[in-house]
Chains A and B, each alone.
Chain A
Amino acid sequence: MTSNRSSRKIKDNIAKILIYIATSITILTLLVILGFVFYRGLPGINREFLTRMWDDKTTIVTVEKDINNLENKSLNYVPSLGIYIDLQDGNVVITGVEKKSPALNALNKKGEIYRIKKSDIIERVKKIDLREATSLDEAITAIEGEDTSLDLKIRRPGGGILPMVISTLLIIVITLVVALPIGVGAAIYLNEYARPGKVLRVIRFAIQNLAGIPSIIYGLFGMLFFVQFLKMQYSVLAGSLTLSIMLLPTIISTTEETLKEVPNSYRQGSYGLGATKIQTITRVILPSALPGILVAIILSIGRIVGESAALIWTAGTVAQVPRALFGSGAAAATLTTKMFWEIQEASNIDTATSIAVVLIVLVVLLNLFSKLITNKFLKRTGTGK
């Protein structure tokens, strides 16, 4: 007896130690990865990185000068345009724009308003090239000429990841808007309506297997079907629809698991009060299943944000804010596809790790946000604390 007990105790302790070691290894690995990513990536992150477009953009604009403004506030003030300029690395950079500045109403070649902003670079005034300017006076003289209307070549510097942040959020929203109702609906059908039997078993088997298919295969399908056959071209919509299909199995099984856990007594209580099936589902079952649906959402967001294979050949790798949902100009790189591309094509590890930091922060924020919303909802139904 005693020897048995002490040997059991030893086994117990060995098991405990093994568990501690395994846990420590996991946590350490995680810390090392996070540490590396933040160490390499953080220095590259600043306001410009977060708020600027990826590529430089050059625009030719026409400005109507304010020739009545004769104020002379300082040496780098241009009265007729109401702007401040400075010479930085041989570039004439706009360092400030006044509220009533005519530069805010500049027109591009299409006749649309182009708001000149702080940090824009003036490359040319009329025919005078300022890219090789050696003094501010050169620029000021060029601008303050006789004529009342002025042609400027403006370069807006890029180097930021704003387009990818926007595209990532856009793809998350579209994918969830498409996949959640279908996935939750399918789970409700399978759990609440479908008769148990062979057909149901086959459907479940299919769903489980679909969840295990590598994402590149979904990407291939998306490219052939949405991009080519439906002629959506590389676009946020083609990407989102591909991801929706890819995520459906996960959403369906996660939701179904929670629906199964909703006690039957809730259903009976509701029917016993004369509720219809739909009323019972929408008012009792779905609210109780909400935490599980939240898990599905969080898992989905994680997969979307982490996906590259299924997106590269459906949404493309163009670092731009998409101008449409599909068709031309609708292509958009997410943070992850851009990161992949930076490593693959540009070997730009520093930018890639900076994107990684933003990605990690974004995922944490999105998860907190989904939790917050669900908690609000749970409080309303009285199940929250």
Chain B
Amino acid sequence: MNNNSKFSVEDLDLFYGDFQALKKINMEIQEKEITALIGPSGCGKSTFLKTLNRMNDLVEGVTIKGKISLDGKDIFKEMDAISLRTRVGMVFQQPNPFPMSIYDNVAYGPRIHGITKKSVLDEIVERSLRQAAIWDEVKDKLKKSALAISGGQQQRLCIARTLAIEPEVILMDEPTSALDPISTLKIEDLAVELKKDYTIIMVTHNMQQAARISDKTAFFLVGEVVEFDSTENIFNNPKDIRTEEYITGRFG
């Protein structure tokens, strides 16, 4: 095992009832890198991502086999879901700010983890919004509803909300698919910036995006990881013919 490995996935199988959505996944995800997950619709990217912070626990009838460790600790046996999720934050495909003020959205995580002091919260909110590159746009309307800003701003707000709990890993499920090109570029720049401090795992349907910003890329196909390598290799030198077909758009 590589000693920079953040997540280590061994022989992971996942079933929704009888349907096997993930098959024998093995993957080492490196610390402070961006790992992109690509593959056709329904191949299990979101399922895999949600397994990493145990969001699948909330789904009825899910069975999981195999092992996932975070910094060497088994996330199923040695950690509870709540503390895992504070270390592994998640940004969803659709921006999903809560129907509260911008401030309360960012302060939500710290508050549920017991921080009540106004000055501390103020500081966390400002720092998180700055990190998510949205501070300048919202600093004058922190008390306004988070639902009243643009979709791109909402997504960065959601990233700020995740940063506020100071996670080690950020999972992003197609964070830009609902956004316009300019907002998309902002989020991509942000991801590259955040990579300095965080491990990022991002599902994307956008090949250029994966190629532009990720260090490693995993290609999923019907529940299996066909190929997992440096982004460089996946895009310029794929070993599997199916990978090549997919990234060149010739995939059936």
Do A272 and B98 form a contact, CB below 8 Å, given A283-B108, A283-B112, A382-B146?
no
Q: How many A-B residue pairs have CB under 8 A?
A: 83
Q: Mark out the residues of chain A between 227 and 280 whose CB falls within 8 Å of any chain B CB in the assembled complex.
A: 263, 265-276, 279
> Chain A residues with Cβ under 8 A from B86's Cβ?
273-274
A383 sits at the interface (CB 8 A): yes
A381 sits at the interface (CB 8 A): yes
Contact of A279 among B104, B112, B146 (CB under 8 A): B112
Structural contact, B55 and A273, CB atoms closer than 8 A: no
Contact of A275 among B60, B99, B100, B112 (CB under 8 A): B112
CA of A279 to CA of B111 in the docked complex: distance in angstroms? 10
B96 sits at the interface (CB 8 A): yes
Structural contact, A265 and B99, CB atoms closer than 8 A: no
Structural contact, B99 and A383, CB atoms closer than 8 A: yes
Q: How many residues of B contact A (CB 8 A)?
A: 34
- Of the candidate stretches B67-75, B157-165, B191-199, the one touching chain A is B157-165
Q: Mark out the residues of chain A between 283 and 318 whose CB falls within 8 Å of any chain B CB in the assembled complex.
A: 283-284, 287-288
> Chain B residues with Cβ under 8 A from A271's Cβ?
55, 58, 85
Return the CB mask of A345-385 against B: 1 if under 8 Å, else 0: 00000000000000000000000000000000000011110
B187 sits at the interface (CB 8 A): no
Structural contact, A274 and B99, CB atoms closer than 8 A: no
What is the CB-to-nearest-CB distance from B46 to chain A, in angstroms, rounded to a whole number?
Answer: 11
CA of A24 to CA of B92 in the docked complex: distance in angstroms? 49
Structural contact, B108 and A272, CB atoms closer than 8 A: no
Do A269 and B99 form a contact, CB below 8 Å, given A279-B112, A283-B108, A382-B146?
no
Structural contact, B109 and A383, CB atoms closer than 8 A: no
Structural contact, A272 and B112, CB atoms closer than 8 A: no
Do A383 and B145 form a contact, CB below 8 Å, given A271-B85, A272-B90?
yes
Q: Nearest 4 pairs between A and B by C-beta?
A: A382-B101, A265-B96, A274-B86, A272-B90
Give chain A's interface residues, CB within 8 Å of chain B: 195, 263, 265-276, 279, 283-284, 287-288, 381-384
